[in-house]
Structure 1
C-alpha cells in the first residue's frame, strides 16, 4: 500500500508530526513518500492509495500562501477510490480557530471523493508524549483499515 504524506510547517512542529507518521506507517508496511507542500503538486496524490495532509493553522484560521495554493490544487482533483487522513498543529489561544485548517482539508478531501480512514489528529504546538500516542494510534487505524 502506497502512502503520500504532504506537510506544511512554519515552526517545525508539523514536519515532526509528518516524520513520526512516516516512520509509523513504514513500520506497518506502507511504502511512504513525504514532501513539503510548497514543493509538491496535489496531483501527486493521484499515484498513491493513502493521501495524508499535515498542516498548521496560522492565527485565526488564515491559510498561508503555501497552504492555500495546495488547497486550490486539491479541489481540482477527483480522488474517488483514494483514502485520506489529516493531521496538524495549532494554538488553543485561538479557541474556535484551533487547527481550523486541518478541518478545512478534511472537508475538501471528502468533497473530491476520498474516503476518510481515521479521525483528524490535532495537536497543540509541538508534539509531546501524549501526542505521539495519538499519531501512533492513527497510523495503526490506517494500517488496520487498509492492510487488513
Structure 2
C-alpha cells in the first residue's frame, strides 16, 4: 500500500484543521496517512513516503513560520525524486504577499525532485465549508495519484 505523510505548522489551529481534513480525504481513498506537526517531524522522514503533503501558515510578509525553518533547512539534505507532493496553508490577504509560505514550500519540493500534483492550496485564515471539502479533495486526489 502506498504511504502518505502530512506535515504541518499551525499557530491558531487553522492549518491543523486543514491537515486533518486532508487526512480524511486520504483515508477516503483507502490510505492511512501519517499526520505530524512539524515540531514532531524530521525532513529526512519525507524520503520514506510515496506521497508528501506539507502545510504552513504564512507569517508576516510572506514568510515561513519560525517553527518550520529548521525543517525547511533540513530539506536541503534530502532528495524526493519520484514522490508525489502537494502544499496547503492558511494566509491573510492583509499582508503584501498572500500565502508566501505555501509558494516557498512548493518551490523547495520541486527543487528536490518531487512531482507537485496540485497547485498550492491557500485559504483566507480559516477554511469555509466549501474549502473544507476542497481540503478533503486535495487528500483524495494526491492519494489517487499514487495508484
TM-score range, shorter chain: over 0.9
Q: Distance in 1 between the 2:75 and 2:31 partners?
A: 23
Which structure has the higher relative contact order (CA within 8 Å, separation 6+)?
Answer: 2
Equivalenced residues, count: 146
The match for 1:30 is: 31
* RMSD over aligned Cα atoms: 1.2
Please state how far the C-alpha of 1:32 moved relative to its aligned partner.
0.5
1:79 aligns to 2:75 (yes or no) = no
Corresponding residue SS for 1:113: coil
Provide TM-score, normalisation by structure 2: 0.94
1:96-107 residue pairs with structure 2 within 5 A? Answer: 97-107=97-107
Show structure 2 runs of 5+ residues with no match: none
Show structure 1 runs of 5+ residues with no match: none
Q: Summarize deviations over 1:113-146 as a string: whole Å, max 9, x none.
A: 1101111110110111121132133223223322
1:1-148 residue pairs with structure 2 within 5 A? Answer: 1-95=2-96, 97-147=97-147
Provide TM-score, normalisation by structure 1: 0.93
